[in-house]
Amino acid sequence: MNLANKITIARIFLVPIIMFFLLVQVTFPDIHIGEDFTITYNQIIAALIFIIAASTDSLDGYIARKKKMVTNLGKLLDPLADKLLVTAVLVSLVQMDKIDAWIVIIIISREFAVNGLRQIALLEGSVIAASKWGKLKTIIQIAAIIAVLINNFPFTFIGIPVDMILTWLAAVVTVYSGIDYFVKNKHVLDFSNA
């Protein structure tokens, strides 16, 4: 197994660790900054691990391309690791009442739909590459998750709900990117032979 695939697998193994810190109550005291801001050590640790895990997505792809280590296993594991990371944290944030479930359902539904489209394309012998909208969607989702994990710090002090703005933006870009995939690849969905 090459280095790029090891990094991807490490990202997968970080998912349950992040969930542990988000969902298991460890008895650390809360951190209070001023009267209006409180955050738990668990959230800070989870946010740091999430940032590390999310940043490895670019790293493993860069290493695989630069050192010519692109493998079929890597092509399978990389998007799986991304989906596991984002989905697990989003579902955890729903359980913590930090994000609305309907937004998470939109994001997860889009992932199922686009993955289904990709599977159909594979059966027909073609590959649907990631689009610029798909990449932007991922960046905004990660930024939104980080903002929610750290309780909108430091923007809470100036009254700007950056966490909610990014969350809504993530939902909108997620829907748009999903539509974009289907419009650009409608030839894959040939219903005349169904």
Place of tokens 């955890």: 92
Cis check: omega of the bond before 79, within 30 degrees of 0: no
Domain residues for 108?
3-193
Q: Which helix (H) or strand (E) holds 163?
A: helix 162-184
Report whether pLDDT(164) > 90: yes
Report whether pLDDT(194) > 70: no
Pair 128, 118: CB distance under 8 Å = yes
What's the distance, CA 64 to chain centroid? 20
Number of domains comprising the chain: 1
Q: What is the CATH number of the domain that holds 152?
A: 1.20.120.1760
- Alpha-carbon separation of residue 147 from 47, 131, 173 (angstroms): 9, 25, 17
Least confident window among 30-34, 108-112, 185-189: 30-34
56-66: pLDDT as tens digits? 888 887 888 88
For residue 46, how many other CB atoms are within 10 A of its CB? 24
Q: Which helix (H) or strand (E) holds 172?
A: helix 162-184
49-92: pLDDT as tens digits? 999 999 988 888 788 888 887 777 777 788 788 889 999 999 99
Report whether pLDDT(173) > 80: yes
For all residues of the chain together, what is the average pLDDT? 88
127-160: pLDDT as tens digits? 777 789 988 999 999 999 999 999 998 898 888 9
